[in-house]
Amino acid sequence: MTEKETAETTPAHTSAPAVELTEELREEYAQLIDSVRAARAAYYDRDAPTISDADYDQLYRRLEELEALHPSIIANDSPTQEVGGSANEAFAPVQHLARMYSLEDVFSLEELSAWLAKTAENAQTLASHSPRWLTELKIDGLAVNLLYRNGSLVRAATRGDGTTGEDVTHNVLTIGTIPTRLAGENHPEEIEIRGEVFISSADFLTLNESMVAAGKAPFANPRNAAAGSLRQKDASITAQRPLSMFVHGVGARTQVLDAAGEPITRQSQIYDLLASWGLPVSPYSRVLDTREEILDYIASYGEKRHSLVHEIDGIVIKIDDFAVQEQLGYTSRVPRWAVAYKYPPEEVNTKLLDIRVDVGRTGRVTPYAVMEPVFVSGSTVERATLHNQDVVKAKGVLIGDTVVLRKAGDIIPEIVGPVVALRDGSEREFVMPSTCPSCGSALAPGKEGDVDLRCTNPASCPAQLTERIFYAASRGAFDIEALGFEAAKALTSPVGEPVLTSEAQLFDLTPDMLEHVMVEREKKVKGVPTGKLEQLPYFWTKATKSRESKPSKTTMNLMDQLQKAKSQPLWRVLVALSIRHVGPTAARALAAAFGSMDAIRSASREDLAQVDGVGETIADSIREWFSVDWHAEIVDAWAVAGVRMEDEVDESLERTLEGLTVVVTGTLSQFTRDSAKEAIISRGGKASGSVSKKTSFVVAGPAAGSKLDKAQALGVPVLDEEGFAALLAGGPAAVESLIK
């Protein structure tokens, strides 16, 4: 539903063959009306949705489908015949001077392309030229209509049913970004300005933390937080909420002139005018000319939608020309000149079955959610991290809750919050354990002031050792592909005695040592699980009557890869040690500065801290790590096994990038991300992962995203791969003519 602009898509079934209108279909239709109405009431009137946007859209589209197949069935009270929600009796009703319409929703790029083609054809017939498209983000907030007379704000109202909304003037006056008096001169005698009230993503987290701390239920998402805040009877409560607004259109108005006294003819022009009046206008809108540009815009913001100021659920595309808008007109509910493309659903509802804890490689104990499996953003999800006990409390989730789940950045499953309205009293609070679930040792903060709890037995905790072995084998460290998590677990926590009790033994492994490593697997008969467990060899094939057990192919690959790992550069060895705060960036800097493990090991805190990209925190962590006996034994054992502990300096490489900071983004054909960083560092430069005013160059390959955008916004020189090669060879002077 988001924004909540209900859809009137043109059903794809209008040309389908007739289907008999059975009693079952009539019953389904009646149930759909009830379900959609109930969902709308929960969303609009109580600001407490009970189903996800994706579920609502599915119900609504099925309702449209039945009405398209059987027009005679359409009821006068069908939700498809209405706009938005009803007015709340707690606020005085307000009749808008011009109706506030919903937008037609499309859910695929194919649907959008069809709409663009049809609308462009109609517009060209009317205007004799191809339309330009005003393209903007679809804010997940609450639609509000501001009425200004002679430059003064006289009324603010919610959209309501499109014709009549709720008077929320007193509450809107508490939003600091909305002017009570417009700046400048020559304001229209009367103008309705439409926009979206929202709470930023950062402010939403802070608000929910304060709600939970006060013993109140948290909001499920930023949209509901904004709606609930704006519809407070007590405006002083609204004033305490971090509400913002972006304006994105106009309704009824007398003549509007630009700064030169000329009539406004395009909607993008009026955005500039609204900004000059002191109204908050979105920085993300663009005027585009082609379908390809619109699709690029959609793809770009789809990638960075969670790094924006506010949450979005789609993109709005409008014809920019006011005259063409007026000629195309409206259906009963939507303008024919605008559409909303909705991204695939990210938020779904599911049941939180349990909250358990996991132990990481540094001993950090992390709560995670176990949920009923649910499909979201392209995959089935049944687990999501909850970070620490304070986050669980801040989100206000209880075991047994129905929760809102999304994928942050389309990748990481994240619980947004509970659906409080669906609680039945059987839910229970999560209690953080006081002992490690792996080894039974006490849990405690790593240092005073830490929120995270850690296992106090790092040397012998099986869970920590498993994670450290897995991390040492990861692509950013030794890059041992055959040593994945399951293999690491088999080596450290198998059925029976572990093969490894310390990562110091990693390079001593032989195939014979792995022969008796057994793991438990669910027993299957002819491929069907039996519900019983059986013990199976992990690294060797299972012996049968006809053949003897022997090392598996994976095991032999593991042996080969362990040998190759001994020759990895020093920075990868440093990463593999799991020194807290020492990731690839700091490790590269340390290796470049000191050249050998012995030099790093004997360096003072001051010498370590002076390395660019290291600093005092990392320096303290390194000194503390090497002061522990069993840590030092790991380095010594690896050195005896033949692991490379010193980098060979290539004297032939000129320090062409001395003092420069270079950011690489996108895909390069001749460099991996790691080899590009190594090329920069070996020539005296700093390879950074973020763009700032201090960045010297950004190297942008295909699929470069937000880093390229930021570089262009800051005026940082941008190079392609050819320019990067030239920069490496000759420094800044070699690329003066190539800078984009």
Across all residues in the chain, what is the average pLDDT? Answer: 86
Residue 663 CA to residue 680 CA, distance in Å, equals 9
* Token pair listed for 711: 């570089």
Tokens standing for residue 190: 């009367």
Q: What is the mean pLDDT of residues 404-413?
A: 72
**Residue 273's CB: how many other CB atoms inside 10 A?**
20
pLDDT in the model for residue 46: 55
Q: Left (φ > 0), alpha (ψ -120 to 50) or beta: where does 241 sit? A: beta
Per-residue pLDDT reduced to its tens digit, 183-220: 988 899 999 999 999 999 888 888 888 887 777 777 77
Calculate the alpha carbon distances from 646 to 252, 375, 582, 593 in Å: 74, 48, 18, 12
Question: Could you tell me the end-to-end alpha-carbon distance of the chain, in angstroms, rounded to an integer?
Answer: 42
Task: Give the least confident one: 12-16, 227-231, 548-552.
Answer: 12-16
The residue type at 685? G
| 635 or 406, greater pLDDT | 635
Amino acid at position 603, single letter: A
Torsion of CA 720, 721, 724, 730, to 10 degrees: -110
Q: What are the percentages of helix, strand and coil residues in the chain, rounded to 5? A: 35, 25, 40
pLDDT of 677 over the 70 cut: yes
Q: What is the DSSP string of 682-718?
A: HTT-EEESS--TT--EEEE-TT--HHHHHHHHHT--E
Sorted by sequence, the CB contacts under 8 Å of residue 562 that are 6+ apart come out as 480, 506, 507, 509
Q: What is the pLDDT of residue 17?
A: 42
pLDDT at residue 408 greater than cutoff 80: no
- For the stretch 527-574, pLDDT in tens is 667 778 888 889 999 888 778 889 999 999 999 999 999 999 999 999
Show which residues are catalytic: 138
Residue pair 679/698 in contact by the 8 Å Cβ criterion: no
Asked whether the predicted pLDDT for residue 101 surpasses 60, the reply is yes
Task: Find the mean pLDDT for residues 77-88.
Answer: 57
Q: What is the pLDDT of residue 45?
A: 56
Task: Kindly tell me the sign of the dihedral angle through the C-alpha atoms of 477, 478, 484, 488.
Answer: negative
User: Per residue, what are the HEC states of 94-150?
Assistant: EECCCCCCCCEEECCHHHHHHHHHHHHHHHHHHHCCCCCEEEEEEECCEEEEEEEEC
* 567-610 confidence digits (pLDDT tens): 999 999 999 999 988 988 889 889 988 989 999 999 999 999 98
pLDDT at 76: 59
Pick from 210, 218, 274: nearest CA to 248: 274
Q: Which stretches of 547-696 are assigned E, i.e. beta strand?
A: 661-665, 686-688
The confidence band for 256, taking pLDDT boundaries of 50, 70 and 90, is: confident
Residue 354 token pair: 């349990």
Categorize the per-residue pLDDT at 628 as very low, low, confident or very high, splitting at 50, 70 and 90.
Answer: very high
Q: pLDDT tier at 82 (50, 70, 90 boundaries)?
A: low
pLDDT for res 428: 95
- Structural tokens at position 219: 């909001």
For range 76-95, the mean pLDDT: 64
Return the ∠ at Cα 576 (arms to 570 and 579), rounded to 5°.
100
- The model's confidence at residue 691, banded by pLDDT at 50, 70 and 90, is confident
Compute the half-sphere exposure of residue 296: CA atoms within 13 Å on the CB side of its CA: 11
Percent over 70 (pLDDT), the chain: 92
Whether 43 shows a pLDDT value over 60: the answer reads yes
Mean pLDDT of 497-514: 95
**What is the model's pLDDT at position 13?**
36
Name 616's Cβ contacts closer than 8 Å, sequence gap at least 6.
Answer: 605, 609
**Encoded tokens for 445:** 């903060």
CB neighbours of residue 219 within 10 Å: 25
Question: What are the E-state strand segments in 241-310?
Answer: 243-253, 286-288
Q: Is the pLDDT of residue 49 over 70?
A: no
Position 650 scores a pLDDT of: 65
- What percentage of the chain carries pLDDT values higher than 90? 48
Does the structure show a pLDDT above 50 at 6? no
